[in-house]
Amino acid sequence: MSDPLPFSQACENNRQPILEQLTRLLPRPAAVLEIGTGTGQHAEYFAGQLPHLRWLPTDHPDNVWMCRQRLELADLPNVEAPVALDVSERPWTLPAFDHVYSANTAHIMAWEEVCEMFGGVAEGLDKDGCFCLYGPFNDHGEFTSESNRRFDQHLRARLPHMGLRNLQDLEALAANLGMSLYRNLEMPANNRLLLFRKTAS
């Protein structure tokens, strides 16, 4: 009997509300780079539901194996073979992309890696492109829920470099790289979908 595929219950829970937003936000044919694909459940679901998008799954070299089998089995015509990408290894050598999607990565990466992720996105993002960053975030240095506070504690106890990021720090980081936050969407379970784009020069 083969091993079960890597699975995340959170992905099952959040995929529909995220899909509803992506459907609205990305209506035209485009290439979407996913950073930190994890189990590949989001890639499989979104690419299946949004066939006008070409999905480019990537993950850290240590973890990219997690999505490979699922995406091979799904065999979707609009999903590229997953690529190993450590966001800290710049410049990124990737096919061109129009938009970027990343879920639940900013609180797992060290802050320096978050900076590299934004740097790589800013370098490669199309002028009309969108960086969709999903997850739990703090607002003005405050937790937005008790469950987020507990989650942050749990992360920092595991590895001190992990932890919820502050929305205003991300905005300042983006601004330094010529990007701005143009939508901050409330999502279920105290999550947000943050949308960044290149600032018009």
Ligand X SMILES: C[S@@+](CC[C@H](N)C(=O)[O-])C[C@H]1O[C@@H](n2cnc3c(N)ncnc32)[C@H](O)[C@@H]1O
Tell me how crowded residue 171 is: count the other CB atoms within 10 A of its CB: 16
- Rounded-to-5 percentages of helix, strand, coil across the chain: 35, 25, 40
Q: Which is nearer to ligand X, 37 or 144 (CB)?
A: 37
Specify the residue for token string 């539901």.
49
Quick one: which of 15, 70, 105, 114 contacts ligand X (CB under 6 A)? 105
Residue type for 33, please? L
- Count of positions on this chain that bind ligand X (CB under 6 A): 21
Nearer to ligand X, 58 or 138 (CB): 58
Region binding ligand X by CB under 6 A among candidate stretches 18-26, 70-78, 106-114, 141-149: 106-114
Residues 47-86 touching ligand X, rule: CB under 6 A, are 59-60, 63, 85-86
Interacting residues with ligand X between 109 and 138 (CB under 6 A): 109, 113
Per DSSP, the three-state class of 96 is coil
22 binding ligand X? (CB under 6 A): no
Q: Would you give the DSSP letter of residue 8?
A: -
Cβ atoms within 10 A of the Cβ of 162, count? 17
Return d(Cα 36, Cα 199) in angstroms, integer: 25
| Max Cα-Cα span within the chain | 57
Examine residue 17 and tell whether it contacts ligand X (CB under 6 A): no
- 88 counts as binding ligand X under rule CB under 6 A: yes
Q: Name which position in 18, 71, 100, 108 contacts ligand X (CB under 6 A).
A: 108
Q: Which residues are at the interface with ligand X (CB under 6 A)?
A: 8, 10-11, 35-38, 42, 59-60, 63, 85-88, 103-105, 108-109, 113
